């Protein structure tokens, strides 16, 4: 790996080089490095599609798996299909994400299609970071698709972060939760310039005692556009909570579209949405401490997204 590779890997996965344990590092449409161990097996797909199958052994605890992707060429459109099979009672952290460096005026794009199969009592913490840099005229796009099937008593925690440089993204997630299953999603998005970011959630609470908690925090600056679309379907005694909070600056736009479908009288579903500007008294308070208006604004945004 060269210097650019290591810099991108650090920004999206906090890696200084090849990690220990199980990992798959993908660069410019090809596998750069891959390793399995006795607890986590990573295999190339056999159905003709680009991507990998990841098998996590039942009952294992405190395991980490790294599967970052980096693109360093302009004009490259990369699509990958990854399936995760999490054994009964297993606990694992999966660090994914993608970094794009595009120095051309063309488009570089990564579309990751991830499908999670969580067996009973398993727990997954999935961390996905998107970052892009390079020529301001070049398009740097992500269109991730996530599908999750969370069986009885299992938990899927997802942390999605996109804090700059990505010109276009359309993120879609569908999930089906069974008895006492949980889905927790924390999303953080920052857009500027003419960047565009769309998030779509569709969650079906199929099992008794299932629950979903989605919290999205976003900041839109300049002439950027964001859209947050959520659809929660409650089919049983269940709980669903979706919260979308946004800060709007300059000539940007944020659109929040909630949908709640209670198909059982025992379903408890809540949606909260708030979009507004930075309060003037907050700016004034920080400026009295010696910060410029821009520094005060950036400080408030950083605290909001953290």
Predicted pLDDT of residue 148: 98
Structural domain count, the chain: 1
Q: Are strands 22-27 and 30-35 parallel, antiparallel or unpaired?
A: antiparallel
Is 16 a domain residue?
A: yes
Taking only the tens place, the pLDDT of each residue in 110-151 is 999 999 999 999 999 999 999 999 998 999 999 999 999 999
Q: Is residue 303, in this structure, part of any structural domain at all?
A: no
What gap in Å lies between CA 306 and CA 300, rounded to an integer? 10
Predicted model pTM: 0.92
74-86, pLDDT tens digit by residue?
889 999 999 999 9
Q: pLDDT class for 295, splitting at 50, 70, 90? A: confident
- 52, pLDDT greater than 90: yes
The structure tokens listed for 84 are 């995760």
In this prediction, what percent of the chain has a pLDDT beyond 70? Answer: 100
Copy the structure tokens of residue 295.
């520094």
Mean pLDDT of 286-291: 83
Domain-embedded: residue 143? yes
8 Å CB contact between 234 and 269 = yes
Q: Is residue 196 part of a domain?
A: yes
Query: What is the distance of C-alpha 268 from the center of its chain?
Result: 26
Q: Which residues touch 189 (CB under 8 Å, ≥6 apart)?
A: 161, 162, 163, 197, 199, 216, 217, 218, 219, 226
For the chain, the C-alpha Rg in angstroms (whole number) is 20
Q: Which domain holds residue 259?
A: 3-280
In the predicted structure, residue 18 carries a pLDDT above the cut 80? no
- pLDDT band with cut points at 50, 70 and 90 for residue 216: very high
User: What pLDDT is stored for residue 298 in this prediction?
Assistant: 84
Q: With respect to residue 174, please indicate whether it lies within any of the assigned structural domains.
A: yes
294: in domain: no
pLDDT value of position 43: 97
What pLDDT, on a 0 to 100 scale, did the predictor assign at position 296? Answer: 86
Q: What pLDDT sits at residue 54?
A: 97
Task: Tell me whether residue 215 is in a domain.
Answer: yes
- pLDDT value for 202: 97
Q: Domain for residue 293, yes or no?
A: no
CA distances from 150 to 154, 241, 303 (A): 6, 17, 32
């Amino acid at each position: 790996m060269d210097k650019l590779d290591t810099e991108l890997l650090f920004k999206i996965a906090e890696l200084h080089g090849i990690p220990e344990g199980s990992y798959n590092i993908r660069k410019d449409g090809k596998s750069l490095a891959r390793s399995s161990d006795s607890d986590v097996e990573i295999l190339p797909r056999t159905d003709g599609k680009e991507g990998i199958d990841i098998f996590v052994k039942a009952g294992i605890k405190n395991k980490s798996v790294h599967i970052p992707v980096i693109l360093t060429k302009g004009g490259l459109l990369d699509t990958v299909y990854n399936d995760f099979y999490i054994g009964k009672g297993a606990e694992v952290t999966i660090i994914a994400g993608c970094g794009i460096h595009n120095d051309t005026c063309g488009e570089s794009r990564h579309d990751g299609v991830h499908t999670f199969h969580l067996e009973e009592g398993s727990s997954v913490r999935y961390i996905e970071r998107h970052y892009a840099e390079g020529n301001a005229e070049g398009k740097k796009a992500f269109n991730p698709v996530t599908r999750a099937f969370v069986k009885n008593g299992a938990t899927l925690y997802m942390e999605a972060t996109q804090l700059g440089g990505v010109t276009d993204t359309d993120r879609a997630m569908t999930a089906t939760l069974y008895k006492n299953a949980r889905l927790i999603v924390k999303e953080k998005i920052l857009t500027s310039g003419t960047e565009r970011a769309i998030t779509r959630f569709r969650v079906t609470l199929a099992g008794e005692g299932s629950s979903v908690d989605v919290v999205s925090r976003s900041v839109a600056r300049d002439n950027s556009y964001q859209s947050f679309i959520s659809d929660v379907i409650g089919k049983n005694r269940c709980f669903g909570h979706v919260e979308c909070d946004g800060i709007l600056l300059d000539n940007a736009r944020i659109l929040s579209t909630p949908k709640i479908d209670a198909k059982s009288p025992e379903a408890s579903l809540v949606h909260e949405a708030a979009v507004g500007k930075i309060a003037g008294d907050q700016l004034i308070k920080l400026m009295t401490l010696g910060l410029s208006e821009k520094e005060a604004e950036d400080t408030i945004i950083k605290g909001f997204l953290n």
